[in-house]
Chains A and B, each alone.
Chain A
Amino acid sequence: MQTSEAKKVNYLSAQHTVASWLLTIDHKRIAILYLVSITVMFLIGGLMAAAIRAELLTPAGDLMGSDTYNKAFTLHGIVMVFFFLIPSIPATLGNFLVPLMIGAKDLAFPRINLLSWYIYMVGATIGIVATVTGGLDTGWTLYTPYSTAYATTNVVMPAIGLFITGFSSILTGLNFIVTIHKMRAPGMTWFRLPLFIWAQYATSIVMILATPVIAITVLMVAIDRGLGLGIFDPKAGGDPVLFQHLFWFYSHPAVYIMILPAMGVISEVIPCFSKKRIFGYNFIAASSLSIAIIGFFVWGHHLFTTPQSMYAAMAFSIITFAVAVPSAVKTFNWTATMYRGSVSFEAPMIYAFGFMGLFLVGGLTGLFLGALGLDLHVHDTYFVVAHFHYIMVGGAIMAYMAGLHFWWPKMTGRMYPEGPAKAAALLIFVGFNLTFFPQFLAGYAGMPRRYHYYPPEFQIFNVLSTAGSSILALGYLLPLGYLLWSLRYGRAAGRNPWGATGLEWMIDSPPSPHNFDETPVVTWEPYDYPDAHRRTAEHAASEAARV
């Protein structure tokens, strides 16, 4: 059986030329293109993180000058947020899985899909080259009037890079929405969709509605700086705080571009390794949508220390607390999914456990920041840095790793080695906590963020943090090694190594170029693990009877 499967043409073996990759319109190949590009971005961003952590080992700025330090954290932030995290799950796993999960042969607009990768590459290249050659020292937040009138570094080019990259997100979001509306297989009703699809759908809405705002905003920064229009310059009657409103109108929802798909991954992994239906399907689906919608009205919680009206601040605070509820609901449902399940502990599940722990801490510490009087103390300190790393690294990247391991057999046809994968998950979990937990304490003790020099009493936290980051780095390098290794030496995966439900598991691994030989007709509910188990048992019994 394995030999016959190997002989079949799959999307990887169909063609081998470089052009067949660069001009591909197969969503699965485009997913791989993204996977490779964002991995490179992750390494660049990670290198900057390492430089920052090394510098902060001591209170004095002894490793590099302040300008270099400022450029390092700016590059770290921009690369990680815009070029790694935003495209991470949607553009790789989403691209690969959306058509497979709904029983379609491709996305609605395959050429636009390829175009979005090229746009991403052009934007990212401009961004990186400009940031590396001239350097950018504004922080990823590009606050005005520093960025428009005072920074002596290269602001315009990276801003144009970000502007261009925005279109890549918009096109991907558009493609997903149309695909999910129009290309579902017969019988694949909305409430039979895997929750990963609901999450991608909600994410796509955010991408389409929010990204144009950041694109225009960075363009305004570039124009203001290039032509001296003074949109954000008080000397010309402009308002520097206006920029922050526009920036966070995108950048808060952008957090959901990162975390909603992550939640989608977890909603697939936990039922599979509990061999049980997901608990409260409708509530998880609805919470994705409500997070996407309510998430548009909380941006002002980044501006509690700016001169915004007291009543506006209170409105933003109360909505911020409201948006925490659907995330809590999801967490409870995931936990309840394991109740009376049949839980096993393969690497994707270990990563999912890691996600649960870290996302819990990240989400709960968000409450500290949403509480107005308390935020005035911890805003712009390391408390904030710790909080958003728990969400964006602990949450989003942990789930990305869970998903990558879960679908790796599907994407490559090979199993990753289980032992090293579990070890890496553990290293990442321990390293992560050691890196970022002390930063909560440093923040409450009063250490401001983006500090190159700091008072000596904060050193203890920074030493712990730097120590943790070296473990974390090891944890991230390990998968890079064993996943590449598995491409050649990994055990053949077969169609469905996890005994998972879902259309993507009913076809070959790796799938054929057109995904489904014949369009599937869906007659069952998602996550019907009890029934799937019954069917497999019956199948085995009839096979046995036949022989």
Chain B
Amino acid sequence: MLLSLFLFPPQASTNAPEVDALYLFLVALCGLTALGVITAMTFFAIRYRRTPENVVGHDIHGSTALEIFWTAIPFLILMFVFAWGASLYFKLSRPPEDAMEVFVVGRQWMWKIQHMEGRREINALHVPVGRPIKLTMTSEDVIHSFYIPAFRVKADVVPGRYTTLWFQPTKPGEYHLFCAEYCGTEHSRMGGSVIVMQPAEYEAWLAGTQTAGGGTPSSGLTPVQLGRKLFVEKACATCHLNTPGGVGPVLVGIYGRQVELATGATVKVDEAYVRESILTPMAKVVKGFPPAMPTFGGQLTEEQVMSLIAYVKSLSDGGDAAAPAPHSGAAPAAPTAPGAPAN
């Protein structure tokens, strides 16, 4: 027991015991293989050591049967290990639909975290126990990697695009958060902790002060609220009306659907597509519309882009409140948006 404490990081997600099971299987498999080969080697070396009676080896060329045997058996075993590893990976590549979303932005040398309910933090991630959580991540500068050993998960955080990582914590506690991809001077100190809390505690924490990690002008708004505000401020609303007839397409209800492009191809509207539509609109032009949308690349921070996406997403979550903000200039102070509980 003590040994296992020493050899394993804490097992704190649904994924962790599954990875550990494969690990232990491989330790056993490889241990036995190594033991077998080393025993055979040692045995032969001693049994057939050179003596005055044994000065030259027997005249043996080889054995095709043996060669086939020790090619085929390892191959079959390895295919089994492949399938096991791939099945774990398959699960980790597909976040559950109902996962709670959190935005993560990495930069030299800190992690900035934005909860959908508005709370933001730096180098710490608070999550409730027992719920699947999906991180949507990007970097402002170089490549980083978001690594939580206790959950046995890691994903690179790459500038210019989104990557995702999901996990379901199973044990309350505080765990290491590391940056695993070398990113310069303070790489080894780019980390913090993941704090897994009981759901009630977590709710209380969410409702707590909004200032943690604040300092940005938008602090205090949820991503959807901030997105709605930006949608007006950046004049998106002048082209994207909530009924057909505007310069640009209606954005209500598009998230998650297929969109036909001018080229005839179709794409699914997801985070990556909305991001691209905002930052490089010419890359994929919607069928039936002029390529009239201005480029916002370089004008928005990663947090702002993420907020706009959250807002566009909220327009597809149904309900009247999903209508785009009125074309009135000033943003509403803090109206309740869908998906954002009142705080």
Contacts A322-B75, A335-B44, A444-B7 given: A277-B185 contact, CB under 8 Å? no
Q: For B67, B163, B189, B280, which residue has the most chain A Cβ atoms within 10 angstroms?
A: B67
Q: Assess whether A118 is interfacial by the CB under 8 Å rule.
A: no
Chain A hits for B50, CB < 8 A:
275, 342-344
Chain A hits for B71, CB < 8 A:
325, 329
Contacts A321-B78, A445-B7 given: A241-B26 contact, CB under 8 Å? no
Residues from 272 to 302 in A contacting B, C-beta threshold 8 Å: 274-277, 279-283
Give Cα A329 to B182, complex, Å.
36
Contact B60 A276 (CB under 8 A): yes
Chain B hits for A338, CB < 8 A:
41, 44-45, 48
Give Cα A449 to B187, complex, Å.
10
Q: Assess whether B207 is interfacial by the CB under 8 Å rule.
A: no
Contact A377 B59 (CB under 8 A): no
Contacts A325-B78, A343-B50 given: A146-B143 contact, CB under 8 Å? yes
Chain B hits for A239, CB < 8 A:
160
Chain A hits for B86, CB < 8 A:
314, 317-318, 372-373
Give Cα A146 to B29, complex, Å.
39
Q: Assess whether A514 is interfacial by the CB under 8 Å rule.
A: no
Contact A150 B142 (CB under 8 A): yes
Chain B hits for A27, CB < 8 A:
none
Pick the interface stretch among B149-157, B227-235, B254-262: B149-157
Distance (whole angstroms) from the CB of B43 to the closest CB of chain A = 9
Give Cα A453 to B50, complex, Å.
52
Contact B62 A324 (CB under 8 A): no
Contact B85 A360 (CB under 8 A): no
Interface membership of chain A positions 145-187, coded 1 if the CB is closer than 8 angstroms to chain B and 0 otherwise: 1100111000000000000000000000000000000000000
Chain B hits for A47, CB < 8 A:
none
Among the listed B9, B79, B155, B188, which residue makes an inter-chain contact with A451, where contact means beta carbons less than 8 Å apart?
A: B188
Contact A444 B8 (CB under 8 A): yes
Chain A hits for B122, CB < 8 A:
none
Give Cα A239 to B158, complex, Å.
10
Give Cα A237 to B297, complex, Å.
11
Q: Assess whether A365 is interfacial by the CB under 8 Å rule.
A: yes
Contacts A150-B142, A376-B89, A376-B154 given: A364-B48 contact, CB under 8 Å? no
Pick the interface stretch among A15-23, A253-261, A304-312, A423-431: A304-312
Residues from 232 to 278 in B contacting A, C-beta threshold 8 Å: none
Give Cα A307 to B75, complex, Å.
29
Q: Assess whether A481 is interfacial by the CB under 8 Å rule.
A: no
Residues from 308 to 358 in A contacting B, C-beta threshold 8 Å: 310, 313-314, 317-318, 321-322, 324-325, 328-329, 331-333, 335-336, 338-345, 353, 356-357
Contacts A335-B40, A335-B44 given: A305-B56 contact, CB under 8 Å? no
Q: Assess whether B222 is interfacial by the CB under 8 Å rule.
A: no
Contact A373 B87 (CB under 8 A): yes
Contact B62 A325 (CB under 8 A): no
Contact B149 A377 (CB under 8 A): yes
Q: Assess whether A235 is interfacial by the CB under 8 Å rule.
A: yes
Contact A335 B41 (CB under 8 A): yes
Contact A329 B70 (CB under 8 A): yes
Contact A240 B75 (CB under 8 A): no
Give Cα A317 to B182, complex, Å.
24
Give Cα A296 to B318, complex, Å.
50
Give Cα A44 to B68, complex, Å.
45
Measuring CB to CB, which residues of chain A are less than 8 angstroms from any residue of chain B? Answer: 61, 66-67, 70, 137-139, 141, 143, 145-146, 149-151, 234-235, 237, 239-241, 274-277, 279-283, 304-307, 310, 313-314, 317-318, 321-322, 324-325, 328-329, 331-333, 335-336, 338-345, 353, 356-357, 360-361, 364-365, 367-368, 370-377, 379-381, 441, 444-446, 448-455, 529-530, 533
A-B contact pairs, 28 of them (CB 8 A): A66-B189, A70-B185, A137-B184, A145-B142, A240-B158, A277-B57, A277-B59, A277-B60, A279-B60, A306-B156, A306-B158, A307-B163, A310-B89, A333-B62, A339-B44, A339-B48, A340-B57, A343-B49, A357-B38, A370-B81, A376-B154, A377-B19, A377-B153, A380-B147, A381-B180, A445-B6, A445-B9, A446-B150
